Homo-oligomer: A and B are copies of this chain.
Amino acid sequence: MKRRRRTLRMPVILTVALVLALLYSDRSALGALQTSGASSGKVKNIILLVGDGMGPSQFGAAWFYSNRILGRDLKMVEVMNAGHTAYLLNDMADAIVTESAAAAGQIATGRRMATATVSMAADRNTPVQTIMEIAKHKGVATGLVTTAGITDATPAAFAAHVPHRSDESSVAEQELRIGVDVLMGGGKQFFLPEISAGRRKDGRNLLDEAEAAGYVVIGDAEELKAAMGVKILGLFSMGDMAYEIDRGRTMEPSLADMTTKTLTTLSRNPKGFFAMIEGGRIDHAAHWNDAAGTIRDVLAFDDAIGVAVDFARKNPNTLVIVTADHETAGMALFDTSKANAGVALTAIHKAKASFEVISGELGRTPTAQKIQEGVKEHLGIQITDDEAMRVASDAIRKLDPASHNSEYLHTLAVVLRPYLGVGWVGPIHTASPLYAFGMGPGSERIKGLLHNTQLFEIMKAAVE
């Protein structure tokens, strides 16, 4: 009896010891989890979200607009606060100020790229393996989604290799050849031969070829909803998709809708997936110095981030990374004598069309009166006769040789500054440092000051 009681007692004490040990262990592990915001498991899925042209100021403008006018916070903030944040530099092999092809290539390959090359080495001719290709070799599903053309620089850099980003016909072919499981965006023109109103000079119809290769090929928001299958090619416009502010006039899906379908489709692969989701037209609106257009596209991008966050909450083995390729046009909210920023945000809220739509309607050399009417109709702003004349004479462009591509829109943006409370440096990219932030396993490496080539290393470590 005594012996039996002793043998019983020892396990009891050992159990107490183990419970104590586990208690300490658990408490510390819980602390670590709370500090890092990362689940410590292995990465199964990677969702990389790129806001093209989204610098800190574009984020800031959208944040104020969303919080003060729409009364809700951005999903981006949830990622920043639950996960990890870094400051990001993006200079290239041959210049300080980058463009989308080189920037995306650097994120995709971890190597410094030359201007306008698509995932090529410095010789502009030797392909450099991308994170998507590495992921594909591991057998995971892959997807590329953008509101620009699917053959445009950012998606191209993950799945194609061409000496110059303008060769979008080759990009289309390579994206299908590598077999990216989901491709969604604009850019249908590079999949169609000239005879079908496309821009392919080789006469091939890549939509037909894709269908033969097992892709479900879709073309509008309704078809997107209905689409089933493990491989989807969704091309929703010939060129870029519409700006978010103009989307209501089209049959196009939102970036969030495309993201939802993409994640649902790719997550059927038991090995996981790699997806790159681009808010592709933030950059374009900023190039035009179009404040409302830029902010609305940041919000559409943020909705897509929300989809990714929801997915990651349900699938904690998902690494979510949000970043940008470069800042566009030196956007800045600022106060002026005519309108304090609160009033200005309301003015931004009233805008009903992008600068691209407005200038499309006005033509290349509108009269001052026509400009005044167009601005009133689409932006709800009554500019003065004098201001309208300044825009018609394109005064800024004559002073500033850097503005040669923007017709009178840069001058319009300067005239609108007091009304919208948004200013711009010009129509081109800047070297402003960017944000990179993320959540999920592996995101703890997003910290301090990073170069965008290091985002490749972070994703590669997660894939391996």
Q: Which residues in A have some Cβ–Cβ distance to B below 8 Å?
A: 6, 9-10, 13-14, 16-18, 20-25, 27-29, 31-32, 35-36, 55-57, 59-61, 63-64, 68, 77, 80-87, 89, 91, 95-97, 327, 330, 332-337, 340-342, 345, 390, 395-396, 399-402, 414, 417-418, 421, 423-426, 428-433, 435, 444, 447-449
Which among B81, B82, B337 is the interface contact of A401 at CB below 8 angstroms? B337
Shortest Cβ distance from residue A90 to the other chain B in the assembled complex, whole angstroms: 10
Report copies per complex.
Answer: 2
| With known contacts A22-B24, A97-B341, A87–B56 Cβ distance under 8 A | yes
Contact indicator A333/B417 (Cβ below 8 Å)? no
Contact indicator A341/B25 (Cβ below 8 Å)? no
CA distance A84 to B448 in the complex (A): 7
Which among B20, B423, B426 is the interface contact of A334 at CB below 8 angstroms? B426
CA distance A9 to B435 in the complex (A): 59
Shortest Cβ distance from residue A83 to the other chain B in the assembled complex, whole angstroms: 8
Q: Which residues of chain B are within 8 angstroms of A61 by Cβ–Cβ distance? A: 431
Shortest Cβ distance from residue A18 to the other chain B in the assembled complex, whole angstroms: 7
Shortest Cβ distance from residue A15 to the other chain B in the assembled complex, whole angstroms: 9
20 extra interface residue pairs, beta carbon distance < 8 Å, beyond A35-B35, A59-B87, A402-B423? A13-B13, A13-B17, A16-B17, A28-B29, A35-B444, A56-B87, A57-B431, A63-B433, A68-B96, A80-B449, A85-B87, A85-B448, A95-B341, A96-B345, A97-B334, A330-B423, A330-B424, A337-B401, A417-B426, A423-B425
Shortest Cβ distance from residue A73 to the other chain B in the assembled complex, whole angstroms: 9
| With known contacts A399-B395, A401-B418, A430-B423, A333–B96 Cβ distance under 8 A | yes
Q: Which residues of chain B are within 8 angstroms of A335 by Cβ–Cβ distance? A: 95-97, 428-429
CA distance A418 to B433 in the complex (A): 21
Contact indicator A433/B59 (Cβ below 8 Å)? yes
8 closest A-B pairs by CB: A17-B17, A28-B28, A96-B341, A332-B430, A81-B448, A423-B425, A24-B25, A333-B431
Contact indicator B14/A64 (Cβ below 8 Å)? no
Q: Which residues of chain B are within 8 angstroms of A55 by Cβ–Cβ distance? A: 56
Most chain B beta carbons < 10 A, residue from A21, A332, A341: A332
Shortest Cβ distance from residue A13 to the other chain B in the assembled complex, whole angstroms: 5
Q: Which residues of chain B are within 8 angstroms of A421 by Cβ–Cβ distance? A: 96-97
CA distance A31 to B59 in the complex (A): 33
